[in-house]
Structure 1
Amino acid sequence: MTQAASIASFDTGYSADSTEFCPFKDHTQYLAVGTYQLTDEQEANVRIRKGKTYLFDVTQPLIPQQTIETPAVLDMKWSHALVNDKQVLGIADAQGGVHLYGFNENTLEKVDHVQATDDPSTLCLSLDWASRLNKTDGRIVTSHSNGTVNILTPTESGYVVGEDWHAHDLEAWIAAFDYWNTNVVYSGADDGLFKGWDVRDPSTPTFVYKRHMMGVTTMQSNPNKEHVLATGSYDETIYIWDTRSMRAPVQTCQTPGGGIWRLKWHPTNENRLLSASMHAGAFVVDLKQDEEPMVSTSFLDHTSMAYGADWSFADTSLVASCSFYDHCMHLWKAAD
C-alpha cells in the first residue's frame, strides 16, 4: 500500500465536509468544497448552521476563485448533464433546502433553490442526480434528517418536490439513484437499514436489508459497470452488490478503521473506489474479480474526520479530500 503525500492544502475556516470536481471538459480544473459551522445564534429556537462553498481552480495556487455563503452544506454533487444549458452544482443544506449554482463563464451564479422540506430544523443530508448516465433525466433525489426521501423534478419554472416518502425512522444519511435505471433509488440510514425503492410507487420498498452492523452512510451506483453498487457504513465495511441479486454482497472490504462517510467510484476505472473514512483518513480500494479487495493508496494527513473526497475528471489520479474539525482540504495523488 502506498501512502500519498499532500500536494497542496487549504484551511477552509469552517469545518469542511464535501469536495466535488466538475465533470465538464471545459471546467474540469474546478473543484467545489462545502463547509459547515454550527453557531451559537438561534432562529425559531433552532441553532443557526452557516456554510460556505469555495470554488477552486486546481491548476492555480489553492486560493478560492469564489466564495458562496449559504446555510451549512451537508452534501454537494455536480449534474453530469446540462440544466437549462448550464453546468450545475447542487448543494444540500442544513435548512432542508437544495441550491443550484450554474457556471457563468468561470464563476457560479444561483439558478434555482427548492425547499425539500418545510421544517427548517430538518437537515437535507444528501443529494444525487439521475443524469450521471441518463442525460435526459434531470431529477434529483434528496434524503433528510427526519428519515424522509424525496425526488425533485425539473419543470419549466424550476425544480419542485415530486415524490416524497418516509423511508426510515432515523436519519436518512444517504440516497442515490441507480444510474443505469433511474426509476430505482437506494437509501441508507442510521437504523443500519439499506433499502431499495421504485420511485414510480415508493409506498413500499423493493427490498430491506440489515447487512451493515451500524448506520449506512454512503452508496453509489458504478457509472462504468452496470448492476454494481457500493455501500459503506460507520461499521468500516464496504459491500459491493450485484443489483440483479441483492440477497448478499458479492464482495466485502474492511477499511482500515474510522468508519466510512463517502464512497466514490473512479471516473473511468470500474474496479477502483475512493473512501472518505472519517477518523482513519482517505483510501483508494482496488476491487478485482476472484481476488480480495486491496487498499492501494492511503492518505493520512487529515487530523480530523475525513468526510469528503472526490476524483478529478481531468487527471484521474488526482484526489481532493477534506476533514471536519481541522477544517482542511488536501489535494493528493492515488498510486497507479
Structure 2
Amino acid sequence: MQGASTGIVYGGLKYQARCIADVKADPDHTSFLAGTLSLREENEVHLIRLLPSGTELVCEGLFYHPNEIWDLKSCPFDPRIFSTVFTSGETYGASIWKIPELYGQSNAPQLEQLVSLNEHSFKIKCVLWWPLGKHDKLISIDEGNLFLWSIDSSSKIAKVISKESVGMLHNLSGGAWDPHDRNAVAAICGSSLQFWDLRTMKKTNSIEHAQVRDVDYNPKKQHLVATAEDECGIRLWDLRMPRLPAKELPGHAHWTWAVRYNPEYDELILSAGTDSAVNLWLASTTGHDDSAAESLVDSPTRNIDPLLNSYNDYEDSIYGIAWSCREPSMFASLSYDGRVVVESAKPYIRTK
C-alpha cells in the first residue's frame, strides 16, 4: 500500500547525512537531531523542531561538528547532551557533546565536548545510551570489542568499567541496549546477532546465520526484538525461542538498513532501506496471532496486510529513522541527500 505523502520537509542540511535521533528528553517539543557526513566541508549538527501547528519544521540550532558523523544518539535524560561517532581520514573517534545554553543567540555556537571515549583501538561503530531514563553508564562498540563506561558529565570524566573482545574472526557493526534489563545488550556481529550480559561481559545467547544491519528491542514486551536484514527484510524474534523467527516481513526492494519499534504502540514498526522507501508495518507482538494488532487499526477483514503504508517521497537511500517519544504517532526519516521528512502514522492508529 502506498499513500499520498503528507510529510513535512526540512531541507536545511547542506551535505549528505545518515544519522537522525529523537530528542527524547525534551518534554515540550517534538525535536530531532541530525548530523552530516561531508568529507571536505565542516560538518554540522542540526536541532530540528516541529512547530506547535504541526505544519512546519524549523532549525532551532545549528552547530559545527569537526568530522563526518557516522552515529548520533540523543541523551535520554538531558535534551542538550548527545553522542557522536565520527571519522577523520582513517581515524575514528566518539565523544559526548553538550549544546550551549544560549545557543539561539549565536550564528554557529561551539558545542561543548564533555568527554571523549578514546580507549578504542578498532574502528568505532556506535554508542548506546540505556533508553529508559537516567543511567551513568554508556556502551560503545567497535569492530572487535564491547566497552562499558562510567560517565560523569559534570566532571567530564569517562572511565572504562569493563571491556570484552568478541574474537578475531568476528566483526561488530552495531547493537541495541535492552530497555527491560540494564545488563543486557544485543550486538550485531557478522552473520549473527549476539546477546551479552554486562555484569560478566559474557555472551548469553545468539541468533545465527542472519546478515543483520540493525536491531531494536520491543519497548513494551520482554524477549522480543526486530532485525533488519539484507536478504530477508525484517524479522521478529522471541529470544526464548531464537532458532527460528517468530515472523518475517518481506522488507524492501533493496537492503533493509534500519528498523524501529514505535515507543508506545509496539505493534507498529518502521523500516527504511536503500530502495529510498520508509515502510510502516503492523505486526503482532507474538508472531502467531494478529488479533492484538487488529485492535490497533480499523480493519474490515481478519487477514490484514502487515504493510500499512510505504512512504516513497525520497530520491536517495534512507539510513536514518526515528519515532518521536513525545508524539508517538510522528516519525522522522533522513535520506542520504540530507532531506528530513516528518510523517504522521495517526491514520493507522485507532483511538480508544
Residue correspondence of structure 1 range 65-104 to structure 2 within 5 A:
65-82=61-78, 87-94=80-87, 95-102=92-99, 104=101
8 Å contact from structure 1 (residues 239, 249) kept in 2: yes
Query: Quick one: which of 209, 213, 237 aligns to 2:233?
Result: 237
8 Å contact from structure 2 (residues 32, 48) kept in 1: yes
Matched residue, 1:112: 114
Deviation at 1:100, TM superposition (A): 2.9
Q: Letter of the aligned partner of 1:328 in structure 2?
A: R
8 Å contact from structure 2 (residues 117, 158) kept in 1: no
Deviation at 1:106, TM superposition (A): 6.5
Matched residue, 1:43: none
Matched residue, 2:193: 194
The separation in 1 between residues aligned to 2:3 and 2:170, in whole angstroms, is 36
Matched, 1:271 2:267: yes
Matched residue, 1:52: 44
The separation in 2 between residues aligned to 1:13 and 1:236, in whole angstroms, is 34
Matched residue, 1:44: none
Listed as ranges, the gaps of 5+ residues in structure 1 are: 40-48
Matched residue, 1:258: 254
Q: 1:105 to 1:28 in 2, by over 3 A?
A: farther
Q: 1:293 to 1:252 in 2, by over 3 A?
A: farther
Q: Letter of the aligned partner of 1:165 in structure 2?
A: E
Q: 1:102 to 1:162 in 2, by over 3 A?
A: farther
Q: Letter of the aligned partner of 1:219 in structure 2?
A: V
TM-score (norm 1): 0.83
Deviation at 1:230, TM superposition (A): 1.3
Listed as ranges, the gaps of 5+ residues in structure 2 are: 291-303
Matched, 1:165 2:167: no
Matched residue, 2:299: none
After alignment, is 13-22 or 165-174 more displaced? 165-174
Deviation at 1:154, TM superposition (A): 1.8
Give the total of aligned pairs. 314
Matched residue, 2:312: 300
8 Å contact from structure 1 (residues 7, 331) kept in 2: yes
8 Å contact from structure 2 (residues 9, 339) kept in 1: no
The secondary structure found in structure 2 opposite 1:65 is strand
Deviation at 1:218, TM superposition (A): 0.9
TM-score (norm 2): 0.79
Deviation at 1:193, TM superposition (A): 1.4
Q: Letter of the aligned partner of 2:82 in structure 1?
A: L
1:85-118 CA-to-partner distances (Å, cap 9, x unmatched) read x652222222221323257376695251222444
Matched residue, 2:19: 18
1:185-212 CA-to-partner distances (Å, cap 9, x unmatched) read 11113x221111111222x422232242
1:267-308 CA-to-partner distances (Å, cap 9, x unmatched) read 210111111222241111111252477121211122111000
What is the Cα-based RMSD across aligned positions, in Å?
Answer: 2.6
The separation in 2 between residues aligned to 1:296 and 1:105, in whole angstroms, is 42
Residue correspondence of structure 1 range 219-230 to structure 2 within 5 A:
219-230=215-226
Matched residue, 1:312: 324
Q: Percent same amino acid among aligned pairs?
A: 18
Structure having the higher Rg:
2
Query: Quick one: which of 124, 137, 140 aligns to 1:139?
Result: 137
Q: 1:81 to 1:9 in 2, by over 3 A?
A: closer
The separation in 1 between residues aligned to 2:113 and 2:129, in whole angstroms, is 16
